[in-house]
Amino acid sequence: MKKLKKAVCLLLAVSMAVLAGCSGGTSATPTPTEQASSEPTLLRATCTATPETLDPARGTGENDLIIFVNLYESLVVPNRETGEPEPFLATEWTTSDDGLKWTFKLRDDVVFADGTPMTADDVVYSMERMLALGEGYAYVFTDILGSVKAVDTYTVEFDLKSSFGPFLTALTCLKIVNKTLLVANTVKDNSYGDNGDYGKEYLLTNSAGSGPYVIKKFTIRESVDMVKNENYWGTLPAEAPDEATFTQLTDSATTKMMMASGDIDLAHGHQDNETLQALLTTEGVKSAVVSEDGLNYFMMNTKKAPTDDVHIRKAISYACDYDALIAVYGDVEKPNGPVPPNLFGADNTIQGYSYDPEKAKEEIALSKYADNLADYPVELAYIQGNGDTGKLTMLLASNLEAVGFKVTISEVPWVLFCNNEAAVDTSPNVTNAFCSANYPEAGSLLEFKYASWTTGNWNQNEWLQDATFDQMITEALKTVDNTERLQKYSEIQKYLVNDVVPSVYAMVSATKPSWNSKVFTWPVSEGKMYASSEYNYYLANFVMLK
Amino acid sequence: MQNTFVMLVKRAVHFILVLMLLSFLIFSFIRLIPGDPVRLSLGVMAPEETVQRMRHELYFDRPLVVQYFHWLQGVVTKGDFGQSLYTHHAVSQDIATYLPRSLELAFYAAILILIFGVLVGTVSALFKNTWIDNVIRFLSYLGVVTPPYVIALFLLILFAYTLKWFPIGGVPSIPEEIVKTGMPGLDALLAGNWALYGKVLKSLVLPTLSISLGSIAYQARIHRSSMIENINADYIAFARVAGVSSTRLVMKHMMKPSFIPTFTIYGLQVAALLGNAFLIEVIFRYPGFSQYSLNVILNKDPYSIVAVTFVFGVIFAVVNLLIDLGVSWLDPRIRLKASE
């Protein structure tokens, strides 16, 4: 028996030793710093999720757009400072007097990544394809576009059904794809008639654009590897990364370790504050606040007691302690009106509401619920697991209680939340969420958030259904002249803030990416930022230091 | 032999019926959850036409029974589990991508659990109530109560970040041309690429340890008490008096009957490894089946949810069958009962 015990012990000890031996001492893989300088430069970034497809006609999420902006190009791009669209693949354009016909002259030197020259045919194909698929940004164009045709090799003409002022800005959402390549890779099925599957299957894992980068390898929910487009028609600086990989990484502990050990160079901007502070302790790691084209809104149901009374809505706007809300997210901006300050068409002269509990009480006294406020509890709701929106809601709840409101709070699962928002009766008094523009212009956000025809989804708990607003936004969207249209947007913003007060504008939505400044220089660090945040990730602007 | 065959056939029929019932129930439950999965997938602004077209393509606009049998027909005739709204791929393709990775991880974990669970349990039983037993019991208790993700973070910080023995998560990229099974290690082996296999193995050490340490501890505790029960049995005392050598006594007379509870628990633990590895897969950036399963459920992706449940059902059923076969091989009395 003793012998056997000894043998078992020995076996156990040997197995432990073998297991320990598996670790095999220090790693043989060279770290980036050991690599020779002649090797291609590689930028290693993280993202909250990889795109689901590389099809620019299908994705609209932040992660999709960051990748698409490097693979595909559009006729116009927003100016970094003003957000106004400026020429890119198109060199110039004209509009008919009635605003229905838009004619674009294209550059004649653009080639796709496979060397095929880009022509008006590709633009026509890209637009028709997007509309046929009906996904992604198709809804921006479905109701307004009559037809699109190639006038000659480098001229394309869009005929609109009705005048649409922001058409040029909206065109930033149309990414041009390589028709020849997609037609050659079409799967013959009956989804889209003669067009087969319109190249959908091919674009699940391949790209077909003219952008400065091409796909090297894409594994959904793992990583997107991009490499410089050797055939790029424009200038692609030598300092820009030769390769870039975006890895899906959501675990904060792993992110911290990988940043500290130099295994990643750029961490996505959705880290919680504690993780961000830990990331910043690594030497050379910096972070920036990158504003996005949306806001955090407390959306007040204007058709349900007690928030149907404008004085109650004003009271809530005054009762809200904006600094406390902003402290939850850190250095983000406080907007004054319904449009983020850097979005094309924002009126930054508007004086919004500030924290003033006394004024809140005065407004309550003016409302029809002044005498029986306790009979009308304000129901606050937020989406389960949606970042810190729960914290924001709790803060507002305590602010409201402090001025005399009775409140109830509910955390609602996403699917149920969407369901509740489908009808005015089931929409709570106040919900909290981040909403952003569909195309980078104030009109998009204003229409999407407040027009009568966009109710019934979680972006409009306000149920504004206000005839004056509908009239104003329709007029503004019809106006082709930029100055005139912006003036109309400004009037709408004033009307919303001063007269209707449908929402509390809590903060500008922003992300806080952090990066190793010893590895690359990012224009964002000098405050050079686009309102459409994806353009900040245009890799050609990155300067690799090693 | 014939009895075993009859049992297998009976089991297979039961199994198919259970799977059909399970999949039908899941279909019904998904319809009951509020919210339109197509609308969720396409976004609030997608034109109604597109939503309707996709609903039609996916059979969501047909009665539940019609949708179910259409799906079942696809599964039986083409192995087609439908289209995922979450990944935009065929569900069968998703399973083929994610399941093999998790199976490989579970395979290595299963080996560790069996070897070390039994070994540590045996040592603990043989040294019952000595300091060795006490240390093992303490450690195994610690192992059972510590959640796997805590173990994962601890191993990651110690062995990957501080000592740099292993990579901080991720699996080496397997070149497309050698991918055959979808299991990174096995594919490297089949291609004869030993260097790549070594790299894969190295990247799998920490995740494997993280998901198996708790199970090893649990297994050791089960095996210990099972051994102790047999050590005190009359037939062991009798065998000892009859002069049976101590090695034979332990290896044959004590080990074999002690294996029955151990083996039953072991099978269920291994089957559960696939579903319980979610956080481990996230922490080690190992995109496996567990992560996929949770994501499709959160995104209310109907066909994927049914397929995932189906796969788990098959795995549990197969594992249960293997356990029963194994147990009946270990104990002829059970074999006789089963054949009655």
Q: What angle do CA A402, A406, A407 make, to 5 degrees?
A: 100
Please give the tally of structural domains in chain A.
3
Question: Does residue A90 share a domain with residue A226?
Answer: no
Local structure of A161: helix, strand or coil: coil
Lowest mean pLDDT among A31-40, A87-96, A279-288, B227-236: A31-40
Residues B51, B151 within the same domain: no
- Give me the pLDDT at residue A169, please: 94
**Binary contact (B126, A4; C-beta < 8 A):** yes
Q: Are residues A490 and A522 in the same domain?
A: no
The reply to whether B228 touches chain A by the CB within 8 Å rule is: no
CB of A338 closer than 8 Å to CB of A491: no
Q: Does residue B50 sit at the A interface (CB-CB below 8 Å)?
A: yes
Q: Are residues B60 and B131 in the same domain?
A: no
pLDDT band at A27 (very low <50, low <70, confident <90, very high): very low
Q: How far is B335 from chain A (nearest CA, A)?
A: 31
Instruction: Read off the tokens for A398.
Output: 């305590």
Residues A503, A533, single domain; the answer is no
Residue B284: list chain A partners with CB under 8 A.
254
Do residues B112 and B67 both lie within one domain? no
Residues B125 and B195 in one domain: yes
Could B165 and A24 be called an inter-chain contact, meaning their C-beta atoms sit closer than 8 Å?
yes
Classify burial at A414, counting beta carbons within 10 Å of its beta carbon; exposed 0-12, middle 13-18, buried 19 or more.
Answer: middle
Same domain, A258 and A275: yes
Please check the confidence at residue A16 and state whether its pLDDT lies above 50.
no
A422 and A326, same structural domain? yes
Q: What is the mean pLDDT of chain A?
A: 89
Judged by CB atoms closer than 8 Å, whether chains meet at A3 and B282 is answered as no
- Whole-model pTM: value is 0.84
Name the pLDDT band for B326 (thresholds 50, 70, 90): confident
- Together in a domain, A534 and A492: no
Q: According to the model, what pLDDT value does residue A46 have?
A: 95
Asked whether residue B35 carries a pLDDT value surpassing 80, the answer given is no
pLDDT, residue A25, reads 37
- What pLDDT, on a 0 to 100 scale, did the predictor assign at position A12? 47
Residues A262 and A373 in one domain: no
Establish if B86 belongs to a structural domain. Answer: no
| Residue A396 sits in the same domain as residue A478 | yes
What is the arithmetic mean of pLDDT over B154-168?
A: 91
Burial code (b: 16+ CB inside 10 Å, e: under 16) for A200-233 equals bbbbbebbbbbbbbbbeebebbbbbbbbbbeebb
CATH number assigned to the domain comprising residue A520:
3.40.190.10
Q: Which pair of tokens denotes residue B51?
A: 């939503």
To the nearest whole percent, how much of chain B has pLDDT over 70?
97
Least confident of A1-15, A169-183, A237-251, A347-361: A1-15
Query: How far apart are the C-alpha atoms of A191 and A467, rounded to whole Å?
Result: 40
Query: Residues B146, B2: one domain?
Result: no
d(CA A197, CA A3): 72
Please give the biggest Cα pair distance in chain A: 102
CA distance B249 to chain A (A): 9
Q: Which residue has the higher pLDDT, B243 or B190?
A: B190
pLDDT tens readout for residues B287-313: 889 888 888 887 788 889 989 988 888
Last residue of a domain, one of A168, A195, A222: A195
What pairing do the DSSP bridges indicate for beta strands A42-47 and A243-248?
parallel
Q: Give yes or no: residues A528 and A478 share one domain.
A: no
Residues B110 and B170 in one domain: yes
Using the predicted structure, report yes or no on whether residue A23 has a pLDDT greater than 70.
Answer: no
Q: What is the pLDDT of residues A355-386, one digit of tens each?
A: 999 999 999 999 999 999 999 999 999 988 77
User: Quick check: A18 pLDDT over 90?
Assistant: no
Co-location of B46 and B157 in the same domain: no
Count of domains observed in chain B: 2
Q: In this structure, are B47 and B120 located in the same domain? A: no
Which range is least confidently modeled, A400-404, A510-514, B29-33?
B29-33
| Phi, psi torsion values for A91, nearest 5 degrees | -95, -35
- With CA atoms as reference, the chain B residue closest to A248 would be B285
Please answer yes or no on whether A12 and B120 come within 8 Å at the CB atom. yes
The pLDDT score that the predictor gives to residue A173 is: 94
Please, what's the largest Cα pairwise distance for chain B? 85
Lowest mean pLDDT among A23-37, A151-165, A525-539: A23-37
Range of the domain at A417: 291-510
Residues A428 and A452 in one domain: yes
Flag whether B54 is in a domain.
yes
pLDDT band, residue A415 (cuts 50/70/90) = confident
Q: What are phi and psi of A143, to 5 degrees?
A: -85, -15
In whole angstroms, what is the distance from residue A42 CA to residue A32 CA?
9
B132-141, pLDDT tens digit by residue?
999 999 999 9
Residue A428 to residue A420: CA distance in whole angstroms? 8
Interface of B with A in 262-291 (CB under 8 A): 282-285, 287, 291
Is residue B90 in a domain? no
The encoded tokens of residue A444 equal 């998009």
Q: Is A231 part of a structural domain of the chain?
A: yes
Per-residue burial over B167-192, b = 16 or more CB atoms within 10 Å of its CB, e = otherwise: bbbbbbebeeeebeebbbbbbbbebe
Residue A37 belongs to some domain of the structure: no
Whether residues B122 and B58 fall in one domain: no
Using omega within 30 degrees of 0 as the cis cutoff, is the peptide bond preceding A87 cis?
no
Calculate the alpha carbon distances from A141 to A210, A475, B131, B325 in Å.
22, 18, 76, 63
Tens of pLDDT, residues A482-502: 999 999 999 999 999 999 999
Q: The CATH number of the domain where A298 resides is what?
A: 3.10.105.10
| Residue B332 belongs to domain with CATH number | 1.10.3720.10
**Which of A5-19, A39-53, A411-425 comes out lowest in average pLDDT?**
A5-19
Q: A135: nearest CA in chain B?
A: B46
Closest to B169 (Cα-Cα) out of A259, A270, A75, A370: A259
Closest CA to A360 of A302, A402, A303, A407: A402
The whole-chain average pLDDT of chain B stands at: 86
Q: Are residues A415 and A477 in the same domain?
A: yes
Distance CA A241, CA A232 (A): 14
Residue B238: give the domain boundaries: 95-338
For residue A2 the two structure tokens come to: 């003793």
A380 falls within a domain: yes
Question: Phi first, then psi: what are they for B234, rounded to 5°?
Answer: -60, -40
**For A525-540, how does the pLDDT look when each residue is reduced to its tens digit (9 = 90+)?**
887 788 788 999 999 9
Which chain A residue has its CA at the smallest distance from B128's CA? A5
What is the predicted pLDDT for the residue at A469? 97
- Domain identity same for A425 and A492: yes
Question: Cα–Cα distance between A503 and A297 in angstroms, integer?
Answer: 6
Q: Name the residue with higher pLDDT: A207 or A292.
A: A207
Which CATH number do you get for residue A99? 3.90.76.10
ipTM score of complex? 0.78
Shortest Cα distance, chain B CAs vs residue A312, angstroms: 29
Interchain pair B285, A5: CB under 8 A: no
CA B177, B183, B184 angle in degrees (round to 5)? 65
Mark whether B62 and B186 lie in a shared domain: no
**pLDDT higher than 80, residue B45:** no
Tell me which of B46, B78, B110 is where a domain ends: B78
User: What mean pLDDT do residues A97-125 have?
Assistant: 96
* Domain membership flag for residue A9: no
CB atoms within 10 A of CB A167: 22
Q: How far is CA B286 from CA A133, B171, B172, B203, in A?
A: 33, 7, 10, 10
Residue A21 forms part of a structural domain: no
Is A47 a domain residue?
no
Tell me if A522 is assigned to some domain.
yes
For the cut 60, the answer to whether the pLDDT of residue B1 exceeds it is: no
- Is B202 an interface residue toward A (CB < 8 Å)? yes
Mean pLDDT of B35-54: 79
Compare CB distances from A257 to B40, B156, B205 and report the shortest one's residue.
Answer: B156
* Alpha carbon of A290: minimum distance to chain B alpha carbons (Å): 24
